[in-house]
Amino acid sequence: MSRGVLVTGASRGIGRAVAEAFAAQGDRVAVHYGHRAADAEVTLAALPGEGHVLVGGDLADPEAAQRIADTAETALDGVDVLVNNAAVATSPETAHPVAEVSYADWQRIWRRTLDVNLVGAANVSYCVARHLIARGAPGRIVNIGSRGAFRGEPDHPAYGASKAALHALGQSLAVSLAPHGISVTSVAPGFTATERVADRIDDALRAQSPFGRVGTPEEVAAAVVYLASAEATWAAGAILDLNGASHLRM
């Protein structure tokens, strides 16, 4: 049966791959974007099947987060799966090592990162879950976390902290929403070859994994599709490492 799927940050990279994977199995997808409208249009146009929609909005704004969830709920005739992928990612522009940035920039980057990566995801999760509960329908929430939550992000500490908190949020919601038939899980990808980081992939990065390469968006998408399936209900609360053995944790 076709499901309604909301993918945040689906204009490029992992989000686009996730949207494509759900559409390929016949689901209806709401492609969310923050500011890359043109890229999101490309994602939408390439999706197989029918019933897909475009939804824009800044997740850092609580009212926009609610509007995103409500718009997708109406347009898809119900959101059954939420994938929290949108994030302020690591980049030269968002780097903030303690010894090198001003206190003002430290504050600005921390605030923006947490508002999008953690609070924005929490707000959309709340709104989607409330719709599911009101409909009496089972659902799935899958968070896109990061290896950096465990391995550390010395130049991007706000990013690492936000992803660790996102993992913890997922586990808390997994317990609270299970009685309503809503399963919540997370994936923690390692370095993944997307358009945004293509110029950063070198032999040193590939060597972090014993496979001698970095991950692909399609590999992350395949894991998300599984965790959103009925067969993965018992995985509620899990955090799945997807890093090619580049970082192993207890």
Number of domains into which the chain is organized: 1
* Catalytic entry in 11, 163, 183, 246: 163
Is residue 39 included in any domain, yes or no?
A: yes
* Catalytic entry in 125, 146, 183, 186: 146
Q: How many CA atoms lie within 13 A of 65 on its CB side?
A: 21
Is residue 15 included in any domain, yes or no?
A: yes
* Catalytic entry in 11, 33, 125, 159: 159
**pLDDT at residue 231 in the model:** 97
**pLDDT at residue 91 in the model:** 92
- CA 166 to CA 161: how far, in whole Å? 9
Is residue 234 included in any domain, yes or no?
A: yes
- pLDDT digits over 114-141, tens only? 999 999 999 999 999 999 999 999 999 9
Is residue 248 included in any domain, yes or no?
A: no
Is residue 247 included in any domain, yes or no?
A: no
| Spans in the chain with pLDDT lower than 50 | none
- CA 215 to CA 22: how far, in whole Å? 19
- What are 30's strand-pairing partners? 6, 53
175 phi, psi to nearest 5 deg: -75, -45
- CA 115 to CA 158: how far, in whole Å? 11
Is residue 249 included in any domain, yes or no?
A: no
Supply the range of the domain harboring residue 12.
Answer: 4-242
Is residue 78 included in any domain, yes or no?
A: yes
**What is the model's pTM?**
0.96
Which CATH number is 57's domain given? 3.40.50.720
Is 159 among the catalytic positions?
A: yes
Is residue 250 included in any domain, yes or no?
A: no
